[in-house]
Structure 1
Amino acid sequence: MDFLTGGLLISLAACLAGFAWRIRRSRGGVRISSEAHEPPHRAPCPKKAGERGGAGLGVLRYLKAFLLDVLFQAHLVRASVSRWTMHFLLAAGFVGLLLMHAMDGVFSRAVLPMYEPTLDPYQWLRNLFGLMVLAGVALAVYRRLTITGLKRTTRRDDWFALAIIAAIVLSGFVLESAKITSQSEFDSMVADYFVSDDPAEIAGLQMVWANEYGVVFTHPAPEPMDMTPDELLALGREVNDFACTSCHSDTASAFVSYPLSRALKPAAPVLGSAGGVSTLWYVHVLLCFLGIVYLPFGKMAHVFLTPLNLLVQPTRPRPERGAQPDACGGAPGTATTLRRTIGMEACMHCGMCSEHCSVAASYAVLGTAEILPSEKLRGLRHKGAGELDPAEAFAFAEGSFVCTECHRCTDVCPARIDLQELWISSKRTLMAEEAGGAGVRGEPHRQMTRFTAGQWAERFSQGLLHEPSQEEAERPVVLADRPQTFWACVQCTTCTNVCPVVAAATDPVQELDLTPQQIMNMLRMGLRDHVLGARMVWSCVTCYKCQEHCPQGVRVADVLFELRNIASARLRHAALHNDADRDTRHQGGAA
């Protein structure tokens, strides 16, 4: 067994083992969306296939999904032409290289007439497919560097996947360029296929391959003394036509490799030597083996899993469809679990769901990446596998409960994953875990509504949460910490007089602790932590009447809003370190 066969078998075995591990891990991860926490049935049981028009329509629907979505990726065109162009270049180019280069002994020689890798159009097509892949990688890199929504969700795994693809193709081009200039490859070809030992014919053939094929001869054969260069060239062309052209086209048709070989011509004596070509071949093959082994462990697994999900889910999930597969009395642990497992693993981390997420603005404020659907799905898989530490578990819970279930991520997902169903099920499981005492409280609104505004104010006034959080320490000075914000305030009480919260209070001093005008005055004196405990801060409805009517233009409502964000950051910090739970139980007992 040679190196190529042995390495390929080992790589394929590792790849299959990786997919088996991934499936097992995913089936564990899907338990958080268990039958006990199914989304509510929002649609009646669908009619049977015969009642909808026959099984033939179902077959046609799957065939349409395969042709349009899997092969031609029409669903990507509707979302973004540049995204489709990038993906089509990568997919079509790589499939072309796989069939006509990597699998030429299995596919090309059996299907294509008169196939030889060094003949046109196959030599030209190999360069075309390689260039398509590199163009797709370049477009992917450009998009991830320039599109804000993609920049914030790009991980090292995304860069590694692009790097390994580019490295495989580039090493292939360099290898082909080295072979074009290699005298050792020429000598090997002559020894295997050229039966004549006439020195004049060999010298003429060398002259033709040096002039027309780009070979760099470091040790050329001696030229016969009785022949002119023109006569020797004519003899070489005659020999070339007889012995070589049936298997070799002009290397200039390799429109990427040939110019590259000209650029690398100074290094041809090293690269084109037997050791140089062999080294480049091993580098190229080892990179291919690395790509095969890496396939099930990174985002490149979507090459298989995304088409599978597109076939399992031939039409896009709709909000009203809800839990259709379970609404007919079927076992939710079979078809639904399998569909969710495939859906969770089909994500290609393209970032489209995060670009369109309706609560993405919360990520800009809270900094929790798991608010974004593409990152939350990754956390969902890790949670099911038990791979989240306490900080990650808190971030996942917080990101889950910030979701408003607007269905936008499901509507735009190019892999057609039913994300809405996953979010609903995972949130129900998180609430069940919290009720059982084993969960992590991550829902900001549930955290806030545990106490009234007065009780929260009391916690701050007692100094329970006066330690600045990391988010607060890293927060740029905006309003509350800038004396310039309040210099114009003349304590005219206009903000207090127009405030509907003050107007609704029977005794503002007793019910709100401080009025807006008093809060501005205390902030002007640098007493920010003291006003965090004022019930006015927590009772403000952010109607902006105070700010709109202020004769001095003081940003009263914005300041109150910022104070609540500071307090919220401290609550999140305390909850993350389990202090909030302890303080909550203490306050609950005191209440």
Structure 2
Amino acid sequence: MFLTIGVYASLAIFCAGILYKLYVWTSRRVGAGFSDLTVSQRVSALFKSIFSSIFSKDILTLANAFFWDVLLLRRVFKADFKRWFAHMCIFVGFMALLIMHALDKEVFVLFDPYNESTLNPYMFLRNFFGVMVIVGVCVAVWRRLTSPLMRKTGNTMDAYTIIILAVIMVSGFALEAVKIPSEAVFDRMVDENIGGYDSEEEALPLKAVWAKDYGVVFKNFEMPDDPDVLAEGYDVHTDSCVDCHAKPQSAFLSYGLAKMIDPIAVGLNDVRADEILLYLHLLACFIGLAYLPFSKFFHVLTAPLGMLSGAVVKKSQPAPAVLANHRAMELDACTHCAVCSEHCSVASALTRFDNNTILPSEKLASAKGMLNGSGITDNTLALLRQGSDICTGCYRCTELCPSGINLQDLWAAFKEELAEKGYPDTYIQATQTMTEKDAADEGKAAMEVVSQKAGNPASGYNLPEARYCFECQTCTNSCPVVRMYDDPKGVLGMLPHQIIHTLKLSSALGLELQEMAVSTRMVWDCTTCYNCQEHCPQGVPIADILYEIRNQAFAELNKKTA
């Protein structure tokens, strides 16, 4: 009864969760321009895109993405070998256990109609795949505990997921370990295969064999000295048991645990520990199944779907409804692995700003809450705006994302959403704040910071070296931002060599020209690629100077909004 109710209840919750996710994917709006799309239009676009991809040459793109990115986890491997190893252990081990063990009578029977869980190689493989999952979980936990940045990005959902998985695996091994020496399990096997015994004397030969070879611990049992009794037991075992029961030693971990609990095996049998652990194991599995659509592990479905969808979307300009669905799905494809945050080029800004949304993984989680309308305050939205604008657009997070999420596309969409909610570009606010200040005060404040840096070699740059700039324009010629425009000066206001020259004149002649540099777009569009600084023949720390100008503008903005 418990098994039947648990299976149907957990399946019902799981299916309801899947339907809810499908509704969210076809109703959630990520970015501007989708307000006119109805749910029915997006559902229709979803099915059209599926069929058009399957019944077209795009099927080859899908097959390639499925093999390399879904099965072999190529993107995960490129990003982090330890994470790839952990992920493969958990994924391969758990899926093998699901098919071979949990669904042996429903699915695996198609491959082996005569499989029995008490035969080899299944006893060995069950332990092998279980150990794979445990090793994968341990590596994943170790990665998160040993990385300060990953500890900072952890959340309660990560903990719940790991706990549920750990309970499933530990209770499974404990259940098998308790069953090996259990007399009650032996008696049930005898009743099913032999029809039971009329007396203890009649059962003695078979008990002797199972105590000797199978590790069963019988209460008040003494091994008979008569070899004929043992021989009779082997005859009965060969006739009735050997076809469906292999020796448990091949279940290497479970058997090792069973030998460890031999001294208390009789007591565990008396309280029917095997049944208690069975109910615990099944309950953990049911909870895991019901929780799956709402947990971190839902990426087992969403990440492959997102990668397959992304492989097709990248090849062409998608229709608005298709793009809207794809973006909504990508939010659920995030595994919160923090690879993007570990490699974020502006993660160091956390030392200056107490704002976790600077990190891509936390920005994505916060934006998801914004779109869902859950627990979002004005302060949260302001921090999300700041975290989004500090991003330099270097694309490193998108290139490294193991789930193949186009994070740069999502950042742009989030900015559109925030702008509609009344949170404009932080850079615009910072620039306006600096240009609104009195020119003399502003010039003094900017130069004080830069001058302090100039006298501190450990700070990474030396402003007095700016006087060595002779406007050779090497910095401007090597700048990727400048190369983006046909008329860079008209778009950016001032070019890198002009900004340095302006600061040099301001310092040398006592002119208050910093406002010109602060308000120019070049300062804010700089990607901090350091090309200019690396190529400067005079060693002028150009990128660091531009960085400090932005920092000073942000400091003034924070003072204004405090």
Give the TM-score category using the shorter length: 0.7 to 0.9
Structure with greater Cα Rg? 1
Contact 2:211 2:218 in 1 (8 A): yes
Deviations 1:54-113 (A, max 9, x none): 976422221222223222323333333332221111111001110111112212234314
Shift of 1:356: 2.7
Tell me the residue number matched to 1:325: 318
Shift of 1:453: 5.0
Tell me the residue number matched to 1:256: 253
Q: Relative to structure 1, is the Cα distance of residues 495 and 126 closer, same or farther in structure 2, using a 3 angstrom cutoff?
A: closer
Tell me the residue number matched to 2:4: 5
Tell me the residue number matched to 2:132: 132
Alignment map for 1:419-434 (pairs within 5 Å): 419-431=407-419, 433=420
Tell me the residue number matched to 1:304: 301
Q: Partners in 2 of 1:245 and 1:172 — Cα distance?
A: 24
Shift of 1:559: 13
Report the secondary structure of 1:106's partner residue.
coil
Equivalent in 357, 361, 369 of residue 382 of structure 1: 369
Q: Relative to structure 1, is the Cα distance of residues 394 and 502 closer, same or farther in structure 2, using a 3 angstrom cutoff?
A: closer
Report the secondary structure of 2:141's partner residue.
helix
Tell me the residue number matched to 1:18: 17
Contact 2:29 2:35 in 1 (8 A): no
Report the secondary structure of 1:218's partner residue.
coil
Tell me the residue number matched to 2:228: 231
Shift of 1:566: 8.1
Shift of 1:249: 0.3
Tell me the residue number matched to 2:213: 212
Q: Does residue 144 of structure 2 align to residue 162 of structure 1?
A: no
Contact 1:537 1:564 in 2 (8 A): no
Tell me the residue number matched to 1:114: 114
- Aligned AA for 1:209? W
Q: Does residue 240 of structure 2 align to residue 243 of structure 1?
A: yes
Q: Relative to structure 1, is the Cα distance of residues 183 and 391 closer, same or farther in structure 2, using a 3 angstrom cutoff?
A: same
Report the secondary structure of 1:130's partner residue.
helix
Q: Partners in 1 of 2:217 and 2:279 — Cα distance?
A: 22
Report the secondary structure of 1:345's partner residue.
helix
Report the secondary structure of 1:268's partner residue.
helix
Tell me the residue number matched to 1:265: 262
- Which segment drifts farther, 183-192 or 301-310? 183-192
- Aligned AA for 2:120? D
Q: Partners in 2 of 1:275 and 1:198 — Cα distance?
A: 23
Report the secondary structure of 1:272's partner residue.
helix
Deviations 1:233-285 (A, max 9, x none): 22222211111111110010101100011112233223333532111111111
Q: Partners in 2 of 1:351 and 1:559 — Cα distance?
A: 30
Q: Partners in 1 of 2:438 and 2:550 — Cα distance?
A: 11
- Aligned AA for 1:450? Q
Q: Relative to structure 1, is the Cα distance of residues 311 and 503 closer, same or farther in structure 2, using a 3 angstrom cutoff?
A: closer
Report the secondary structure of 2:106's partner residue.
helix
- Aligned AA for 2:266? P
Report the secondary structure of 2:118's partner residue.
coil
Shift of 1:143: 1.6
- Which segment drifts farther, 102-111 or 381-390? 102-111
- Which segment drifts farther, 366-375 or 92-101? 366-375
Tell me the residue number matched to 1:329: none
Tell me the residue number matched to 2:558: 572
Unaligned regions of 5+ residues in structure 1, if any?
39-48, 327-331, 462-478, 486-493, 513-533, 545-557, 580-591
Equivalent in 424, 427, 430 of residue 445 of structure 1: 427
Alignment map for 1:47-446 (pairs within 5 Å): 57-195=57-195, 196-197=197-198, 199-220=200-221, 228-273=225-270, 275-314=272-311, 317=314, 324-326=317-319, 332=320, 334-387=321-374, 388-431=376-419, 433=420, 438-441=421-424, 443-446=425-428
Shift of 1:338: 1.3
Report the secondary structure of 1:105's partner residue.
coil
- Aligned AA for 1:302? H
Report the secondary structure of 2:180's partner residue.
helix
Contact 1:363 1:369 in 2 (8 A): yes
Contact 2:30 2:413 in 1 (8 A): no
Deviations 1:6-30 (A, max 9, x none): 1111112122223333444455543
Shift of 1:36: 7.4
Contact 2:93 2:133 in 1 (8 A): yes
Q: Partners in 2 of 1:255 and 1:316 — Cα distance?
A: 47
RMSD value, Cα: 4.1
Q: Partners in 1 of 2:168 and 2:427 — Cα distance?
A: 49
Q: Partners in 1 of 2:201 and 2:138 — Cα distance?
A: 48
Q: Relative to structure 1, is the Cα distance of residues 245 and 569 closer, same or farther in structure 2, using a 3 angstrom cutoff?
A: farther
Shift of 1:448: 1.4
Shift of 1:363: 3.0
Q: Relative to structure 1, is the Cα distance of residues 268 and 560 closer, same or farther in structure 2, using a 3 angstrom cutoff?
A: same
- Aligned AA for 2:121? P
- Aligned AA for 1:439? G
Report the secondary structure of 2:153's partner residue.
coil
Shift of 1:560: 13
Alignment map for 1:13-52 (pairs within 5 Å): 13-35=12-34
Report the secondary structure of 2:244's partner residue.
coil
Q: Partners in 1 of 2:348 and 2:36 — Cα distance?
A: 28
Shift of 1:141: 1.3
Q: Relative to structure 1, is the Cα distance of residues 71 and 500 closer, same or farther in structure 2, using a 3 angstrom cutoff?
A: closer
- Aligned AA for 2:8? L
Tell me the residue number matched to 2:44: none
Tell me the residue number matched to 1:524: none
Q: Partners in 2 of 1:287 and 1:98 — Cα distance?
A: 14
Aligned residues: 486
Q: Relative to structure 1, is the Cα distance of residues 566 and 123 closer, same or farther in structure 2, using a 3 angstrom cutoff?
A: same
TM-score w.r.t. the length of structure 1 is 0.72
Q: Partners in 1 of 2:408 and 2:364 — Cα distance?
A: 11
Q: Partners in 1 of 2:21 and 2:55 — Cα distance?
A: 33
Report the secondary structure of 2:433's partner residue.
coil
Shift of 1:460: 9.6
